[in-house]
């Protein structure tokens, strides 16, 4: 009886050890799936977003070759016009034409024409290059805010030249023809002021003898806008970053540095977990399929789902909230550009997920083939 009991105990010990190793391997496999997905996403983000050269090339190509530049020009013009009124830089609707309303008459074709007249490809390249270099240099510098200063002379020169007059005519031709009631309203207001006092035209195309004078008023209004654009546009100051009480640049910079470190090397955690799984449990083709093949397959499938759904989620979030205040035209153009830009890291993620899932399926198939061979082998 004692020998029987001893034999039974000696046989049960390996089973307990084997059961504990199974549980540990399963836990490690679950952790591997999580960190592998996070690591893949992070690495693809790092490869794109923390590569200044790639970011500059991509943004430049996107803005120059698409209609996003006219859309952004419209957004910037609306913002600048509203800012001038808010800062008492103009008397829009009182001492000069209502530029905000005038802008609203322009369609996408009009903004495309204005972009060609006022914004050259070299100017766009300058804006992007200075902005990207300034932002990435700031991350590793001791500066409180990014040093992003746009040289606005090329734009100002074109606005004050013939290109500016031609741009005004594009906007002018977008306005509706004046009705008899609108002309009568202008004449009535004109009759109530002394000679020589300026009276604003209604925002419509006046016929002769007012046509030339009306166009000159709009050219003068553009010159007023141009005069308020600084020769050197300091991004941080103009957008109120230096006076913001809510933004903490030191904390933000630290977070960006930490994010860069995590997304660059986070995949190493998954690699360590995989090595641990192999070392603890993989002893045969069967265990390789169970503890490596299955996690690979799950990771690959989840990565593909993230690639398919993540791009749509980001575009929906940005266009649905951050761009909610922009026009429909700008909304659509920026949305199209977001699809191209987010594709830079979601498309590689889709490929990586497909490869992992395919490799996992191969290991699982080999596991089952091995099991069938064992069952089919004749007993000796």
| Residue at 311 is within a domain | yes
Q: Are residues 155 and 187 in the same domain?
A: yes
The residues, ordered by sequence, that sit 6+ positions from 286 with a Cβ below 8 Å of its Cβ are: 367, 370, 371
pLDDT value of residue 198: 77
Q: Are residues 159 and 306 in the same domain?
A: no
| Residue at 265 is within a domain | yes
- Which spans in 105-175 are helix H? 108-118, 121-139, 153-160, 162-174
In the Cβ-directed half-sphere of 152, how many Cα atoms lie within 13 Å?
A: 16
Q: Are residues 40 and 106 in the same domain?
A: no
Q: Are residues 77 and 38 in the same domain?
A: no
> Contact 286/370 with Cβ under 8 angstroms?
yes
Q: Are residues 228 and 101 in the same domain?
A: yes
| Residue at 32 is within a domain | yes
pLDDT value of residue 310: 84
In angstroms, the Cα distances linking 298 to 16, 163, 200 are 28, 59, 68
Range of the domain at 141: 54-247
Q: Are residues 361 and 297 in the same domain?
A: yes
CA 354 vs. chain centroid, Å, equals: 25
pLDDT value of residue 373: 55
pLDDT value of residue 369: 83
In the Cβ-directed half-sphere of 36, how many Cα atoms lie within 13 Å?
A: 26
The residues, ordered by sequence, that sit 6+ positions from 163 with a Cβ below 8 Å of its Cβ are: 117, 118
d(CA 175, CA 141): 49
pLDDT value of residue 249: 80
Average pLDDT by consecutive 10-residue portion of the chain (380 residues)? 46 55 91 96 91 89 76 65 56 50 71 87 92 92 88 93 92 88 89 82 88 88 85 78 65 90 94 94 89 96 92 75 54 72 88 96 88 55
How many domains would you assign to the chain? 2
Interhelix angle 294-317/2-49, nearest 10 degrees: 30
- Token reading at 165: 């007059």
Q: Are residues 75 and 210 in the same domain?
A: yes
DSSP state of 202: P
| Residue at 11 is within a domain | no
In this prediction the pTM is: 0.70
- Token reading at 32: 């591997």
| Residue at 133 is within a domain | yes
Cis peptide before 357 (omega within 30 of 0): no
d(CA 83, CA 158): 22
| Residue at 348 is within a domain | yes
Give SS3 for 232.
strand
| Residue at 287 is within a domain | yes
pLDDT value of residue 6: 45
Q: Are residues 84 and 47 in the same domain?
A: no
Tell me the pairing of strands 232-234 and 149-151: antiparallel
Q: Are residues 97 and 33 in the same domain?
A: no
| Residue at 8 is within a domain | no
> Contact 107/329 with Cβ under 8 angstroms?
yes
């Amino acid at each position: 009886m004692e020998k029987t009991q001893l034999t039974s105990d000696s046989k049960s010990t390996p089973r307990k050890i084997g059961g504990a190793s199974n549980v540990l391997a399963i836990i490690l496999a679950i952790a591997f799936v999580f960190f592998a997905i996070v690591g893949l996403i992070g690495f693809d983000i790092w490869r794109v977003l923390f590569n200044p050269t790639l970011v500059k090339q991509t943004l430049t190509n996107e803005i120059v070759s698409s209609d996003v530049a006219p859309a952004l020009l419209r957004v910037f013009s609306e913002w600048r016009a509203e800012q001038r009124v808010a800062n008492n830089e103009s008397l829009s609707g009182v001492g000069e034409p209502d530029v905000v309303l005038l802008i609203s008459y322009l369609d996408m074709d009009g903004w495309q024409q204005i972009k060609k007249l006022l914004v050259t490809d070299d100017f766009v390249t300058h804006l992007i290059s200075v902005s990207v270099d300034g932002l990435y240099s700031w991350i590793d510098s001791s500066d409180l805010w990014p040093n992003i200063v746009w040289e606005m002379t090329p734009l100002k020169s074109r606005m004050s030249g013939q290109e500016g007059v031609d741009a005004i005519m594009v906007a002018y031709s977008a306005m509706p023809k004046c009705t008899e009631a609108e002309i009568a309203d202008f004449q009535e207001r004109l009759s109530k002021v002394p000679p020589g006092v300026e009276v604003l035209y209604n925002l419509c195309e006046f016929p002769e003898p007012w046509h030339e004078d009306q166009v000159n008023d709009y050219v003068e209004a553009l010159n007023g806008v141009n005069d308020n654009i600084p020769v050197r546009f300091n991004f941080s100051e103009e957008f109120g970053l230096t006076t913001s009480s809510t933004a903490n640049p030191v904390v933000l910079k630290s977070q960006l540095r930490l994010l860069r470190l995590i997304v660059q090397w986070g995949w190493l955690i998954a690699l360590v977990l995989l090595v641990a799984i192999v070392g603890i449990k993989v002893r045969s083709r069967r265990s390789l399929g169970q503890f490596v093949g299955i996690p690979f397959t799950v990771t690959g499938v989840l990565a593909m789902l993230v690639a398919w759904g993540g791009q749509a989620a980001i575009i929906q979030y940005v266009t649905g909230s951050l761009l909610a205040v922009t026009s429909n035209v700008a909304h659509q153009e920026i949305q199209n550009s977001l699809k191209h830009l987010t594709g830079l890291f979601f498309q590689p993620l889709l490929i990586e997920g497909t490869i992992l899932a395919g490799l996992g399926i191969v290991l699982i198939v080999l596991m089952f083939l091995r099991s069938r061979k064992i069952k089919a082998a004749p007993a000796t």
